[in-house]
Amino acid sequence: MKKILFVFLNVLLLLVVTACGGEEAGSALSEDKLKVGVTAGPHEQILEKVKEVAAEDGLEIEIVVFNEYVMPNVALDEGDLDVNSFQHKPYLDKFKEDRDLDLVEIANTVNFPMGIYSSEIKDVSELKEGDKVGLPNDPTNGARALILFEQAGLIKLKEDADVGATVKDIEENNLNLEFVELEASQIPRQLDELAAAAINTNFAVEHGFVPTKDSIFIEPSDSPWVNLLAVRAENENDPVLEKLIKAYHSDEVKQFIADTFEGSVVASW
């Protein structure tokens, strides 16, 4: 009996040591394969091209597609992804703060100018008293939409609102517009129930819109809301990420973006 107990304890100890050793070794990313999370639409299309270019450099990319903004960061933090590519820095910073995540950006990717869309009117000047206007309900994209409405001359925000703006920071609303906050991916589907709405470019494109043609007002192409590649902080300096950045920032990918999106998505490098 003592002998059996001795063997059992040794096997148990071996399993514990092996498990601990595996966890430590697993903290570094693979040298030739990455699992990258993206949102459906342009981010997915661009990463398909990046995947093609990276393969020539011996890097295999597995693309995981999401249809909303929360899970790509959660999955990255939990180790289900190695990298994600879908968000701008204000969104990442706010998400990290709210959920206490240790994620970092490693490179800029593209800019998606946010636009105002409508199925009823052709210009923001046609909005009427009391019209309903939609905007994303997450803090950073909501603030971005409010800044866009201000640029369009629809409202005036408090001077210190900046990227933290909420509807409570609206100082002037001469048309008494009713601002309806909705989940970003759902806004295109609910556009017929609104007079107009601010829609993120990836969701607009996914819904069949061409932002530079179909929006009734759009951010300038040099908008500061640049998207990025994010990783866990522990992997920030892993060599394999240099291959990913090299592929993403290649001339082939830049040309693909220019040809495919015709100014609706802009390379940031």
Domain residue spans of the chain: 33-113+224-267, 115-218
Q: 33-113+224-267, superfamily in CATH?
A: Periplasmic binding protein-like II (3.40.190.10)
Q: What is the mean pLDDT of residues 98-115?
A: 96
pLDDT at 221: 67
Residue 6 has pLDDT above 70, yes or no: no
The residue type found at 253 is: V
Average the pLDDT over each of 23-27, 99-103, 172-176, 211-215 and give the range with the smallest value: 23-27
Same fold, 33-113+224-267 and 115-218: yes
Q: What is the mean pLDDT of residues 92-111?
A: 96
The residue type found at 245 is: I
Angle ∠(172,162,212) on CA atoms, nearest 5: 85
What is the model's pTM? 0.73
As a whole number of angstroms, the distance between CA 194 and CA 187 comes to 9
At 127, the pLDDT band (50, 70, 90 cuts) reads: very high
Q: How does 59-97 read in b/e, with b if 16+ C-beta sit within 10 Å?
A: bebebbebeebebbbbbbbeeebbbbbbbbbbbbebbbe
pLDDT at 5: 44
Task: Extract long-range pairs of 123-130: CB within 8 Å, 24+ residues apart.
Answer: 123/216, 123/217, 124/152, 124/153, 124/154, 124/196, 124/216, 124/217, 127/154, 127/175, 127/177, 127/195, 127/196, 128/175, 128/195, 129/175, 129/176, 130/175, 130/176, 130/177, 130/178
* 39 C-beta neighbours (distance < 10 Å), count: 24
pLDDT at 9: 42
Q: What is the mean pLDDT of residues 205-232?
A: 90
- In the block, which residue shows the tokens 């100018």? 113
Q: What is the mean pLDDT of residues 98-126?
A: 96
Residue 7 has pLDDT above 70, yes or no: no
CATH level 2 (architecture), domain 115-218: 3-Layer(aba) Sandwich (3.40)
pLDDT at 116: 98
Report the percent of the chain where pLDDT is more than 70: 90
Residue 25 has pLDDT above 60, yes or no: no
pLDDT tens-place string over residues 134-184: 999 998 899 999 999 999 999 999 998 888 899 999 999 999 999 999 999
Q: What is the mean pLDDT of residues 63-90?
A: 96
As a whole number of angstroms, the distance between CA 95 and CA 70 comes to 9
User: Which DSSP letter does residue 264 get?
Assistant: S
Is 134 in contact with 186 (CB distance < 8 Å)?
no
pLDDT at 23: 33
pLDDT at 22: 34
Between residues 211 and 72, which one has the greater pLDDT?
Answer: 72
